[in-house]
């Protein structure tokens, strides 16, 4: 199968799956089967794309045969292929767990079709090469996640969902206005074309207003600190299978957009908010981890950790050396797997102990040693203990901050790392140590949930032991962002930078 | 015309933001709708404003209007409509109990 077809298959498989699921109606087993199959097909196609783009090659599909920059292009480069593969992996794990453990009213309210549209939008956001199209995929993504959140019951859950919906809609409107301004100033929305126009432009009028709007929009979506308060009020309310999905995907798509737009479209010299981004990133790392230290429930601790980790990845973008960017991409890949897995394990803990509040659980190490192992792998990886994946991500980031001589970044990386270890130990000490509880399991363990959590754990270990090849991929991806010649050639045709007169004549 | 449009966008955004910070959910909803209209107008104005100019022309005819922003605005309006419908349902359902 050619890479072009794989690219389309990646996007279309979950969409077709969603339509079929809706047509079949509320039959949980059948729809679960269809959904898992669709995401598995998409995952296979994404892995094919990773292999095809591993040497930095870029594939572009011009939708409807319209040549760029007039039509919409779907582009797969190393970065987007990597992100696609991890995200589909996590979606698959969350689907398998969700099919096994979610209460019946979730299945009745179209859980599977909604996850599939969410997955379609994820693929679309990673593959699109057009700013307005990115906005549309964000909206599809948001609406799917809103509908999933609206399935929740209870007053507090609804309040959390409302906060999430409101802030994310404001972020979308900022994005829309930014797209309008950029089109008004440049006459194009195509990433490759925009890169050519912004290259070397130090025109404050051209760049600053639009990037400020985009910055606000992406900062809300990826939960950088002053804009992050929707996250800890909504994620802990969701059932762990769903919050694993959200934790793995949503903020990371905001970060992807940041890497793509600020890292590639605006490029090295023209992105004017790097200092601000660094400051916010450090603030986010610190604030997130301090929030986590102060919490007493597993889900809430993990939610605050998402914020803290988002700071690490934003810091990688702010440093913007080749090593830092590669570290950021490696971090994204590692973090999506690990974070989703931690939420899945929190779900397993809840099934075993009846609650994931730290003052109501203890002694799980004696009662369920396998559960302790499942928790230990992602937790140690998140904390950055070698030889697990998090160590290499943090090590590369630390090294790049030392190379640039940025003491603020270095201090933040080391200090926040220590606090992360501390809050993971807090969960470990409260929930896993101590005398084994008298009571047996609150609910019987669900083998598919354990299997998907185990699978993600194995992937974490593999990333740790195969860090070399994967970091190579991340370096290729980072190179593709910093020097997007291959990207531009694939989108606009070889050596074919369009003349300004060309666009005026459309 | 551009000045009028700029002032309208500013007023819509201001009013939208004010209502967004209001106490009730309906307030926030109205605020979002107003902000959405402001964003739509920004998008609409991005192609430049021309009076009575056709979007599709024959070769050699006068300066055309840029049709792309209009297509974009249509997309944004449709999405915005869907989202408002969803938000209204959410408000109704959360005021049930």
Q: What ipTM score was computed for the predicted complex, to two decimals?
A: 0.91
* Partner residue facing B83 (CB), from A143, A158, A179: A143
pLDDT one digit per residue (tens) for chain A, 506 residues: 788 889 999 999 999 999 999 998 878 888 889 999 999 999 999 999 999 988 888 998 888 888 877 888 999 999 999 999 999 999 999 999 988 888 888 887 888 999 999 999 999 999 998 999 999 999 999 999 988 888 887 778 888 888 888 899 999 999 999 999 888 888 888 998 888 887 766 566 667 778 888 999 999 999 998 888 888 888 888 888 899 999 888 989 999 999 999 888 887 665 677 888 889 999 999 999 999 888 888 888 889 999 999 999 999 988 888 899 999 999 999 999 999 999 999 888 888 887 777 777 777 788 888 888 899 899 989 888 888 888 999 999 999 999 988 888 899 999 998 999 888 888 888 888 877 776 667 777 788 888 999 999 999 999 989 888 999 999 999 988 888 888 888 888 765 544 443 333 33
Collect all residues of chain B within an 8 Å Cβ-Cβ radius of residue A143: 82-83, 86
**Contact call for B90 and A150, based on CB within 8 A:** yes
Contact A94, A248 (CB under 8 A): yes
CA distances (Å), origin A417, targets A143, A276, A309, A381, A395: 35, 22, 10, 11, 11
Q: Which site among A180, A234, A503 would you substitute to test the B interface, given the most B Cβ atoms closer than 10 Å to its Cβ?
A: A180
Contact A343, A299 (CB under 8 A): yes
The gap from C-alpha A447 to its chain's centroid, in whole angstroms, comes to 26
- How many whole angstroms separate alpha carbon A105 and alpha carbon A41? 27
Collect all residues of chain A within an 8 Å Cβ-Cβ radius of residue B21: none
**Contact call for A166 and B38, based on CB within 8 A:** no
Contact A341, A262 (CB under 8 A): no
CA distances (Å), origin A240, targets A79, A390, A453: 28, 22, 12
Please classify residue B50 by burial: count the beta carbons closer than 10 Å to its beta carbon, then call 0-12 exposed, 13-18 middle and 19+ buried: middle
Q: Which two tokens stand for residue A201?
A: 């432009």
* Partner residue facing A180 (CB), from B25, B32, B43: B43
| A125 CB neighbour count, 10 Å cutoff | 26
Secondary structure tally for chain A: helices H, strands E? 23, 2
């Amino acid at each position: 199968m050619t890479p072009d077809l794989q690219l389309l298959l990646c996007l279309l498989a979950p969409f077709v799956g969603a339509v079929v699921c809706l047509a079949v109606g509320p039959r949980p087993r059948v729809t679960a089967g269809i959904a898992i199959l669709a995401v598995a097909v998409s995952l296979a196609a994404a892995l094919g794309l990773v292999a095809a783009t591993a040497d930095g090659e870029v594939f572009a599909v011009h939708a409807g045969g319209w040549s760029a920059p007039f039509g919409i292009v779907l582009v797969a480069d190393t970065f987007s292929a990597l992100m696609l593969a991890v995200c589909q992996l996590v979606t698959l794990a969350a689907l398998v767990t969700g099919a096994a453990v979610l209460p019946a009213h979730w299945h009745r309210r179209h859980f599977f079709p909604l996850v599939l549209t969410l997955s379609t939008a994820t693929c679309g956001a990673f593959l699109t090469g057009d700013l307005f199209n990115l906005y549309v995929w964000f909206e599809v993504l948001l609406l799917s996640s809103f509908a999933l959140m609206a399935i929740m019951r209870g007053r507090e859950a609804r309040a959390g969902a409302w906060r999430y919906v409101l802030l994310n809609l404001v972020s979308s409107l900022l994005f829309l206005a930014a797209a309008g301004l950029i089109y008004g100033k440049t006459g194009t929305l195509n990433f490759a074309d925009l890169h050519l126009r912004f290259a070397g432009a130090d025109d404050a009028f051209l760049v600053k207003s639009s990037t400020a709007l985009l910055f606000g929009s992406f900062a809300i979506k990826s939960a950088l600190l002053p804009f992050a308060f929707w996250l800890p009020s909504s994620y802990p309310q969701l059932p762990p299978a769903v919050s694993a999905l959200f934790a793995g995907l949503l903020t990371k798509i905001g970060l992807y957009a940041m890497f793509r737009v600020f890292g590639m479209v605006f490029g090295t010299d023209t992105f004017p908010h790097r200092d601000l981004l660094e400051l916010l990133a450090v603030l986010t790392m610190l604030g997130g981890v301090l929030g986590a230290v102060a919490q007493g429930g597993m889900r809430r601790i993990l939610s605050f950790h998402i914020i803290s980790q988002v700071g690490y990845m934003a810091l990688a973008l702010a440093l913007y050396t080749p090593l830092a960017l590669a570290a950021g991409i490696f971090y994204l890949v590692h973090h999506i797997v690990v974070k989703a897995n931690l939420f899945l394990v929190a779900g397993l803990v809840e099934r075993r102990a009846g609650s994931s509040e730290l003052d109501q659980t203890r002694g799980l190490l004696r009662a369920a040693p396998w559960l302790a192992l499942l928790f230990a792998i992602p937790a140690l990886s998140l904390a950055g203990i070698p030889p697990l994946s998090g160590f290499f991500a943090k090590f590369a980031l630390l090294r790049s901050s030392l190379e640039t001589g940025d003491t603020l970044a270095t201090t933040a990386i080391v200090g926040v790392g220590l606090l992360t270890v501390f809050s993971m130990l807090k969960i470990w000490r409260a929930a896993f140590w101590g005398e084994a509880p008298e009571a047996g399991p609150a609910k019987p363990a669900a083998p598919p949930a354990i299997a998907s959590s185990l699978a993600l754990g194995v992937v974490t270990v593999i990333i740790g032991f195969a860090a070399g090849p994967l970091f190579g991929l991340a370096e290729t991806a980072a190179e593709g962002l910093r020097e997007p010649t291959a990207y531009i050639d694939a989108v606009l045709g070889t050596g074919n930078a369009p003349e300004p007169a060309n666009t005026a004549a459309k | 015309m551009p000045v009028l449009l700029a002032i309208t966008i500013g007023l819509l955004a201001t009013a939208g933001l004010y209502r967004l910070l209001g106490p009730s959910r309906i307030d926030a909803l109205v605020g979002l709708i107003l902000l959405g209209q402001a964003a739509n107008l920004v998008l609409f104005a991005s192609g430049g404003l021309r009076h009575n100019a056709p979007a599709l022309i024959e070769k050699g005819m006068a300066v055309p209007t840029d049709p792309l922003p209009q297509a974009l605005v249509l997309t944004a309006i449709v999405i915005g409509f869907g989202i408002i419908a969803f938000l209204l349902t959410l408000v109704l359902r959360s005021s049930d109990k």
